[in-house]
């Protein structure tokens, strides 16, 4: 087999006992495929990793280098019920093969994509407790994963989870290797050196990733594209942690309390023990009714990874286009709003006469609208619009006089006026050339709206 990245050869006998059955997944370091031990009849997963000497024969694969400690780490960790076990290993001239435990229900990413992830409160709690148990065990052994994400969390037939793929793991308690991991799950300090420290703790970076995974499980989405100031949602989060409620409006206060121990900006304030304690106190993870799920409750064919997998989506925010007058397009936003059915008020027939003139002529002659403020520099408009933009916005102070402009009738908004505007509104007035893209799973919400 010259290159496992180029093709998969079925029914090939490896090491005299492993018969290849079908591909399961592939990545930058090689391929994972399903195989059968012809001597025992056991079904296993085999990870094929390209050696440095084999990179010439397989140029599309990234070769294992000196920093990859996957085999050594598996051997060092030993056995744990929530960590994928290494069963065997063998080598050829160009490849290293890791024979690992097979998890027939695939990974958490596919479970979320197929709406088969944990949803019930107790299922979510138990799932997250297992993940914490796996990470605590690793850290006690001096191993730090650095790539905890749904794609690396595997599901067994019984519903338990197992953390796997230690290709980026390290045994260094302090690391200066920046940008190692997956963008949406990396902690802020993993992206760049800060002014007050050099390097970061891989242990606290793992705790951050656990918090992101919890949001993935509950809402099938990521809060940030990257935890850097270039992401306006993260920038708002740094200024006001409560802005997470704008991104996830059905998130419960209990969930927020858990996340504050995971997503602390200061790494020293992240704590696995505190996360565990907060999880035990959760009454409900969302404000919605507790949804029933079929999480690993029935026999299914082995779940394989889909090709060209994109990350779980981030908040789908399109930067609103400000018109030439500097005004936010409220009319367009309201047209896109899915209005809730509120309390129906009594109908008042419009057949009464009024003696008072509601719109005196002297105001009409001024060229100003009847609802233009007398002190434009001190006014602000706060409205909650549950629109397809997915967030609330605060209008900008506009000191320009509105002359000769025909205003439409005010449109009723079926929500209350917030007492305090959200910090998340700051994202509206960022750079006008910032673009935010949709990912494949944004189509889910569009289908629901239809």
Let me know whether 41 and 115 are in one domain.
no
Mean pLDDT computed over 269-289:
94
Is 262 or 346 the better-scoring residue by pLDDT? 262
In percent, how much of the chain has pLDDT > 70? 57
The whole-number pLDDT of residue 288 equals 84
| Residues 134 and 185 both lie in one domain | yes
Question: What CATH number is associated with residue 256?
Answer: 1.10.510.10
| Alpha-carbon span 29 to 34, nearest angstrom | 17
What is the bridge-based pairing of β-strands 382-383 and 153-155? Answer: unpaired
pLDDT in tens, 169-208: 999 999 999 889 999 999 999 987 654 568 999 999 999 9
Identify the domain boundary among 66, 100, 134.
100
From 340-354, 356-370, 387-401, the region with the lowest mean pLDDT: 387-401
Same domain membership, residue 380 and residue 271: no
Report yes or no on 350 lying in a domain: no
Q: What pLDDT shows up at residue 309?
A: 53
Q: Residue 94: its pLDDT value, please?
A: 85
Query: What is the CATH classification number for the domain harbouring 58?
Result: 3.30.200.20
The answer to whether residues 190 and 242 belong to one domain is yes
pLDDT score of 42 more than 70? yes
Residue located via tokens 């899915």: 338
pLDDT digits (tens, 9 = 90+) for 45-93: 999 988 876 555 554 444 454 445 788 999 899 999 999 999 999 998 8
Phi, then psi, of 45 in degrees rounded to 5: -110, 140
pTM: 0.65
Half-sphere exposure of 276 (CA within 13 A, CB side): 11
Distance, in Å, from the CA atom of 4 to the CA atom of 48, rounded to the nearest integer, reads 7
Residue 291 lies in a domain: no
Q: Is 270 within a domain?
A: yes
- Domain co-membership, 224 together with 242: yes
Do residue 45 and residue 126 come from a single domain?
A: no
Q: Is the pLDDT of residue 266 over 60?
A: yes
Residue 389: both structure tokens together: 């933009």
pLDDT: is 17 or 347 the higher one? Answer: 17
* Same domain as 186, residue 264: yes
Mean pLDDT, the chain, whole residue set: 74
The pLDDT value recorded for residue 274 is: 97
pLDDT reading at 210 higher than 50: yes
Asked if residue 312 lies in contact with residue 223, where contact means CB atoms within 8 angstroms, the answer is no
Q: How far apart, in Å, are the Cα atoms of 85 and each of 44, 96, 133?
A: 11, 17, 15
For residue 205, what pLDDT is reported? 97
The per-residue pLDDT for range 372-398, each reduced to its tens digit, is 444 444 333 333 333 333 343 333 444
* Structural domain containing residue 430: 319-340+362-434
What are the CA-CA distances from residue 192 to residues 178, 181, 188, 237 (Å)?
6, 13, 8, 18
Question: For 131, which DSSP code?
Answer: H
Band of pLDDT at residue 26, cut at 50, 70 and 90: confident
Q: In the chain, how many domains are there?
A: 3
Last residue of a domain, one of 73, 100, 127: 100
Whether pLDDT at 100 is above 50? yes
The listed range with the strongest mean pLDDT (61-70, 121-130, 192-201, 339-348) is 121-130
Residues whose CB falls within 8 Å of the CB of residue 45, separated by 6 or more in sequence, listed in order: 24, 32, 33, 34, 35, 99, 100, 101, 102, 103
CA separation for the pair 110, 195 (Å, rounded): 39
Tell me, yes or no, whether 167 and 217 share the same domain: yes
Same domain, 241 and 126: yes
Residue 42 lies in a domain: yes
d(CA 422, CA 391): 10
Tell me if 165 sits within 8 A of 109, measured CB to CB.
no
Q: How many Cα atoms sit within 13 Å of 338 on the Cβ side?
A: 9
41/172 same-domain check: no
Same domain? 190 vs 74 = no
Positions annotated as catalytic residues are 147
Per-residue confidence (pLDDT) for residue 76, from 0 to 100: 93
């Amino acid at each position: 087999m010259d290159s496992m990245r180029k093709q998969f050869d079925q029914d090939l006998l490896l090491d005299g006992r492993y018969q290849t059955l079908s591909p399961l997944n592939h990545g930058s370091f090689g391929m994972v495929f399903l195989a059968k031990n012809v001597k025992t009849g056991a079904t296993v997963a085999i990870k094929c990793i390209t050696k440095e000497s084999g990179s010439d024969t397989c140029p599309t694969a990234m070769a294992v280098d000196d920093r990859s400690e996957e085999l050594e780490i598996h051997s060092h960790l030993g056995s744990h019920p929530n960590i994928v076990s290494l069963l065997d290993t063998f080598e050829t001239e160009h490849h290293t093969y890791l024979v690992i435990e097979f998890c027939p229900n695939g990974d958490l990413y596919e479970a979320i994509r197929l709406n088969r992830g944990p949803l019930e409160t107790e299922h979510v709690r138990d799932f997250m407790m297992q993940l914490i148990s796996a990470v605590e065990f690793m850290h006690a052994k001096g191993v730090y994963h650095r790539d905890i994400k749904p794609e690396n969390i595997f599901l067994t037939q019984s519903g338990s989870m197992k953390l796997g793929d230690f290709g980026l793991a390290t045994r260094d308690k302090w690391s200066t290797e920046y940008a190692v991991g997956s963008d949406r799950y990396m902690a802020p300090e993993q992206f760049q050196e800060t002014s007050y420290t050099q390097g970061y703790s891989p242990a606290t970076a793992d705790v951050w990733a656990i918090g992101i995974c919890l949001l993935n499980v509950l809402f099938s989405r990521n809060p940030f594209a990257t935890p850097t100031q270039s992401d306006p949602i993260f920038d708002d989060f740094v200024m006001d942690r409560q802005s997470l409620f704008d991104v996830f409006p059905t998130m419960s206060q209990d969930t927020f309390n858990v996340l504050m121990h995971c997503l602390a900006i200061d790494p020293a304030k992240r704590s696995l023990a505190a996360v565990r304690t907060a999880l035990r106190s959760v009454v409900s993870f969302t404000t919605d009714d507790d949804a029933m799920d079929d999480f690993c409750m029935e026999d299914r064919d082995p779940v394989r990874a889909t090709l060209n997998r994109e990350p779980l989506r981030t908040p789908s925010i399109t930067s609103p286009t400000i018109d030439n007058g500097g005004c936010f397009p409220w009319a367009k936003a309201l047209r896109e709003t899915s209005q809730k059915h509120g309390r129906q008020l009594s109908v008042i027939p419009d057949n009464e006469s009024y003696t008072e003139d509601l719109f005196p002529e002297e105001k009409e002659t001024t060229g100003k609208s009847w609802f233009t403020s007398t002190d434009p520099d001190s006014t602000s408009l706060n409205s909650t619009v549950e629109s397809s933009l997915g967030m609330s916005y605060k209008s900008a102070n506009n000191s320009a006089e509105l002359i000769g402009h025909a205003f439409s009738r005010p449109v009723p908004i079926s929500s209350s006026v917030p007492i305090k505007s959200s910090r998340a509104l700051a994202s509206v007035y960022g750079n006008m050339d910032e673009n935010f893209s949709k990912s494949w799973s944004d189509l889910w919400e569009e289908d629901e709206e239809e």
